[in-house]
Structure 1
Amino acid sequence: MATPAAFTGNDAAQIDALLEAHPFVTVVTVRDDAPDASHLPVLARRDSVGLLLEGHWARANPQAHHGESALVLVHGPSAYLSADWYPDKHERARVPTWNYVVAQLRGRFERIGDDAALGDLVARTAAHFEPRVGGDWRYDHDDPRERHQLRGIVGFRFRVESAAITRKLSQNHPVANRLAVIAALEARPGEAAHAIAAQMRDGLSCPPDPEP
Structure 2
Amino acid sequence: MYTPRHFAEDDLAALDRLAVAHPFATLITLADGAPFVSHVPVLYRRDEHGIEFRGHWSRANPQWRHGGDATLILHGPSAYVSPSWYPDKESAARVPTWNYAVAHLGGVLETFEDDAGLAAIVADLSDHFEATVGSEWRFEFEREDHRKQLRGIVGFRLRPTRVELKFKLNQNHPPINGHRVAEALATGSDDAREIAALMRERLAPPAQET
The reply to whether residue 31 of structure 1 matches residue 31 of structure 2 is yes
The reply to whether residue 53 of structure 1 matches residue 41 of structure 2 is no
Residues 103, 164 of structure 1: 8 Å contact kept: yes
- Counterpart in the other structure of 2:68: 68
* Structure 2 counterparts to residues 59-138 of structure 1, below 5 A: 59-138=59-138
Question: What runs of 5+ residues in structure 1 fail to find an aligned partner?
Answer: 208-212
Q: Deviations 1:170-212 (Å, cap 9, x if unpaired)?
A: 1111122112111211222x100010011111111289xxxxx
Q: 1:10 to 1:203 in 2, by over 3 A?
A: closer
Question: What runs of 5+ residues in structure 2 fail to find an aligned partner?
Answer: none
| 1:131 match: secondary structure | helix
Q: 1:48 to 1:87 in 2, by over 3 A?
A: closer
- Counterpart in the other structure of 1:210: none
- Counterpart in the other structure of 1:170: 170
- The residue identity in structure 2 corresponding to 1:74 is L
Q: Deviations 1:44-100 (Å, cap 9, x if unpaired)?
A: 112443101100001011101112210111100000101111111010000000100
- Counterpart in the other structure of 1:204: 203
Displacement of 1:3: 2.1
TM-score (norm. length: structure 2): 0.94
Displacement of 1:109: 1.4
C-alpha separation in 2, matches of 1:181 and 1:48 = 37
TM-score (norm. length: structure 1): 0.93
Over the matched positions of the two proteins, sequence identity in percent amounts to 50
* Structure 2 counterparts to residues 130-209 of structure 1, below 5 A: 130-188=130-188, 190-205=189-204
Displacement of 1:12: 1.5
C-alpha separation in 2, matches of 1:113 and 1:47 = 25
Residues 10, 165 of structure 1: 8 Å contact kept: yes
Large movers: runs of 4+ above 3 Å = none
C-alpha separation in 1, matches of 2:5 and 2:121 = 37
Displacement of 1:131: 0.8
- The residue identity in structure 1 corresponding to 2:192 is A
C-alpha separation in 2, matches of 1:76 and 1:23 = 9
Displacement of 1:6: 2.0
Q: Deviations 1:82-127 (Å, cap 9, x if unpaired)?
A: 1111111010000000100000100111111011211111111111
